[in-house]
């Protein structure tokens, strides 16, 4: 079986890359160990976050002490993982200094500004309109101090990056979300974001659209990739003129075999679905920013997602954050019974400078990378797919790819 390109990875990024290459006249094979959308792309918050900025490493002493004590609800770490993670965390801290972060955030914004439009185009083409929820999301507050600080930050982001928002007092918050608890005193509502009621169904719809365009989906083992370029699948060996590694948290398994030592780490996270009690309704994603969790209406129920767990990617699940946050979330919104047998665990593939890796590999001809999107893989999938496809076929690009080059490390 011969193709122009083989794309390794069936998450939102890989599927989006495959679509954009197929649309540009290439014969594309999409390969993953599972059907598309069954790993990290299925378990996120469902936000297409037009207002997204990179999550910086904290640099103030008080926050660092709080995290070091490992009692924070928004960040939890495995002590056994720290020796391996410390070099990454040091570089993450280094890039988070205000002057460096400003440059990084400016580069990030060149992708973020297109995220909603690129998703909407694929949603329209794939017939997935029923999954789309417009109107933004809310960040809610429990204290005036935190609310005032975040309002100043929102005004700065509006000036720097054109991120639209509106501030809500307690009464306005009640009208927007009547079922939320009265401990919440106000909110910032980011109005230009979209959200998805079923991220897995969205990736599935995009994958079906890819096949309608003439692309082929295969179940296979990405770790068998060999230059120039072949990979084993259940249907037999695939040969291609070029290859794209879009494997998210598993990208370094393949890239290391090919001699690339990239500073990648995984931020783990959990979710659980709940019924809503007593006719309660949630209209949009809501982040309880002072505690560190998100609740959002999904097709399966109310999804509660946790913050960050720093651990080895293959270590057993330890959903201590979910267990600690659940009672607080129940006070904020009337959650009913758990709907899942066990918490879902996912991986956020991260780089220390908070930017994804998008572009050509430097040691191999016709090898391309598209991974490292951290918290915003769903948000950035389609614009990444378009950018990489434009680079591969040699046309003008939707954004400057230079900040995302692999050889910046």
pLDDT tens figures, 321-354: 999 999 999 999 999 999 999 999 999 999 999 9
Q: Give the three-class secondary structure for 47.
A: strand
Average pLDDT over residues 98-113: 96
- For residue 258 the two structure tokens come to 């090919």
Query: Nearest CA to 337 among 302, 389, 362, 386?
Result: 302
Average pLDDT over residues 391-397: 98
The answer to whether 118 touches 112, Cβ cutoff 8 Å, is no
CA dihedral for 193, 403, 266, 227, sign (positive or negative): positive
Average pLDDT over residues 169-190: 96
C-alpha 254/C-alpha 248 separation (Å) is 11
Domains recognised in the chain with CATH numbers: 2-44+115-131+199-263+353-408 (3.50.50.60)
C-alpha 76/C-alpha 311 separation (Å) is 9
The pLDDT tens digits of the residues spanning 188-209 come to 999 999 999 999 999 999 999 9
> 187 pLDDT band (50/70/90 cuts)?
very high
> 67 pLDDT band (50/70/90 cuts)?
very high
Average pLDDT over residues 238-254: 97
C-alpha 53/C-alpha 103 separation (Å) is 12
- For residue 372 the two structure tokens come to 């490292």
The answer to whether 205 touches 61, Cβ cutoff 8 Å, is no
What proportion of the chain, given as a percentage, has pLDDT over 70? Answer: 100
What proportion of the chain, given as a percentage, has pLDDT over 90? Answer: 97
C-alpha 253/C-alpha 278 separation (Å) is 47
Helix (H) or strand (E) holding 329: helix 320-332
The answer to whether 57 touches 352, Cβ cutoff 8 Å, is no
Average pLDDT over residues 8-28: 98
Task: Determine the pLDDT at residue 313.
Answer: 92
- For residue 268 the two structure tokens come to 């783990």
Average pLDDT over residues 118-122: 98
What is the DSSP pairing of strand 194-196 with strand 230-233? Answer: unpaired
Query: Nearest CA to 6 among 175, 295, 222?
Result: 222
Query: Nearest CA to 214 among 25, 10, 5, 403?
Result: 25
Average pLDDT over residues 123-135: 97
Rg, C-alpha atoms of the chain = 21
- For residue 83 the two structure tokens come to 């020796």
Average pLDDT over residues 228-247: 97
Q: What is the mean pLDDT of the chain?
A: 96
Q: How many CA atoms lie within 13 A of 312 on its CB side?
A: 8
Average pLDDT over residues 110-125: 98
C-alpha 305/C-alpha 313 separation (Å) is 18
The answer to whether 14 touches 6, Cβ cutoff 8 Å, is no
Helix (H) or strand (E) holding 189: strand 186-190
Q: Helix H segments across 69-216? A: 82-95, 98-112, 115-126, 144-161, 170-176, 199-212
Task: Determine the pLDDT at residue 206.
Answer: 98
Q: How many CA atoms lie within 13 A of 48 on its CB side?
A: 28
Average pLDDT over residues 225-233: 96
C-alpha 114/C-alpha 382 separation (Å) is 9
CA 323 to chain centre: 23
Task: Compute CA distances 166 → 42, 188, 288, whole Å.
Answer: 29, 6, 17
The pLDDT tens digits of the residues spanning 288-323 come to 999 999 999 999 999 999 999 999 999 999 999 999
**DSSP conformation class of 130:** G
Task: Determine the pLDDT at residue 97.
Answer: 97
> 261 pLDDT band (50/70/90 cuts)?
very high
Task: Determine the pLDDT at residue 130.
Answer: 98
C-alpha 330/C-alpha 311 separation (Å) is 27
Task: Determine the pLDDT at residue 364.
Answer: 96
Q: Which are the contacts of 156, defined by CB distance < 8 A and separation ≥ 6?
A: none
The answer to whether 179 touches 108, Cβ cutoff 8 Å, is no
Phi-psi region of 232 (alpha: psi -120 to 50; beta: other; left: phi over 0): beta
Residue found by looking up tokens 């593939």 in the block? 349
Q: Any bridge partners for residue 269, and if so which?
A: 346
The answer to whether 39 touches 199, Cβ cutoff 8 Å, is no
The answer to whether 138 touches 176, Cβ cutoff 8 Å, is yes
């Amino acid at each position: 079986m011969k193709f122009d390109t083989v794309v390794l990875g069936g998450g939102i990024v890989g599927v989006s890359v495959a679509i954009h290459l197929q649309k540009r006249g290439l014969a594309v094979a999409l390969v993953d160990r599972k059907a598309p959308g069954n790993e990290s792309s299925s378990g996120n918050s469902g936000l297409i976050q037009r207002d997204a900025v990179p999550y910086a490493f904290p640099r103030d002493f008080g926050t660092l002490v709080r995290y070091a004590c490992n009692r924070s609800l928004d960040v939890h770490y495995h002590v056994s993982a720290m020796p391996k993670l410390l070099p990454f965390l040091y570089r993450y801290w280094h890039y988070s200094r205000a002057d460096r972060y400003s440059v990084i955030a400016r580069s990030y914004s060149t992708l973020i500004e297109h995220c909603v439009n690129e998703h909407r185009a694929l949603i329209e083409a794939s017939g997935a309109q029923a999954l789309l929820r417009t109107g933004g999301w809310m960040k809610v507050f429990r204290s005036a101090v935190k609310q005032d600080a975040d309002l100043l930050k929102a005004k700065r982001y509006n000036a720097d990056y054109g991120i639209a928002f509106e501030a809500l007092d307690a009464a306005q918050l009640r009208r927007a979300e009547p079922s939320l608890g009265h401990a919440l005193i106000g909110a910032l509502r980011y109005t230009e974001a979209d959200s998805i009621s079923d991220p897995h169904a969205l990736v599935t719809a995009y994958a079906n659209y890819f096949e309608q365009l003439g692309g082929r989906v295969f179940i296979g083992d990405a770790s068998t990739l060999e230059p120039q370029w072949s990979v084993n699948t259940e249907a037999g060996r695939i040969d291609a003129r070029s290859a794209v590694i879009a494997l998210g948290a598993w990208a370094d398994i393949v890239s290391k075999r090919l001699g690339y030592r990239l500073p990648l780490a995984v931020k783990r996270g959990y979710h659980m679905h709940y019924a809503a009690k007593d006719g309660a309704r949630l209209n949009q994603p809501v982040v309880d920013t002072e505690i560190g969790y998100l609740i959002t209406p999904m097709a399966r129920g109310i999804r509660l997602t946790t913050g960050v767990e720093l651990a080895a990617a293959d270590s057993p699940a330890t959903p201590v954050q979910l267990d600690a946050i659940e009672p607080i979330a129940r006070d904020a919104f009337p959650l009913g019974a758990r709907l899942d047998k066990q918490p879902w665990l996912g991986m956020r593939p991260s780089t220390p400078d908070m930017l994804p890796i998008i572009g050509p590999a430097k040691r191999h001809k016709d090898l391309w990378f598209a991974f490292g999107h951290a918290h915003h893989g769903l948000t950035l999938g389609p614009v990444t797919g378009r950018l990489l496809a434009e680079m591969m076929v040699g046309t003008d690009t939707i954004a400057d790819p230079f900040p995302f080059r692999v050889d910046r490390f």
